[in-house]
Amino acid sequence: MKNKIKILIFSLICLAIIPSFVFAFGEVAGPVVFYVPIGGSNTSSWGISNDQPINVQLTAEGNITQFVSLPNSISLEGNNKIYWINLSAKIPVDYNISAGTNITGTFYALAQGQPGQVQINLQLKKNAYIIVEPKMTEQNNNFFTGFFALQSNFWIIGVIAVVVLFALFYFGIKRKEVKN
């Protein structure tokens, strides 16, 4: 039993330490999704990080470009801090629903390297979707638009998973002790 506890503690320490040693131009996993009613707007965020200070140019491609707005560029300070870029989408009142309720596109973040004999440019690609919802009453619109704009935090899911695994492990040991 003591060995199992040591292994569990070692695993938790590894999970806490390993991510802090990874350095690169990166982004938060998952697509950027907007839930927007016809005639309404909504915001979403895209998380980008880097270990060194850089300037990043942002662009969009695909059908989504006519409905979204984003900054042209941002500056990252480094230190692997996640910078959340606020993006907004707006569907006009006269949007033809027969054009589709799932508008797709791609966001790009480009960090240009230093000019010289070899210039290395780094680029991130993020899929983006606008889910067009039917027009709603003003009362319902405020509730649902705000509700769907919430971002899920993957670290919370990870902590919950670790707690559940620990509970299963702990109660499994207790059950084994009761049988003996």
Residue extents of the structural domains in the chain: 23-149
> What parts of the chain have a pLDDT lower than 70?
1, 4, 6, 8-24, 136-156, 173-180
Per CATH, which fold does 23-149 belong to?
Immunoglobulin-like (2.60.40)
> How many whole angstroms separate alpha carbon 103 and alpha carbon 43?
15
Structure-block tokens of residue 171:
């109660």
Model pLDDT, residue 14: 56
pLDDT score, position 23: 47
Q: What is the pLDDT of residue 147?
A: 45
Q: In Å, how far from its chain's centre is CA 96?
A: 29
Question: What global pTM score does this model have?
Answer: 0.60
Buried-state track 111-142, b at ≥16 Cβ within 10 A, e below 16: beeeeeeeeeeeebebebbbebbeebeeeeee
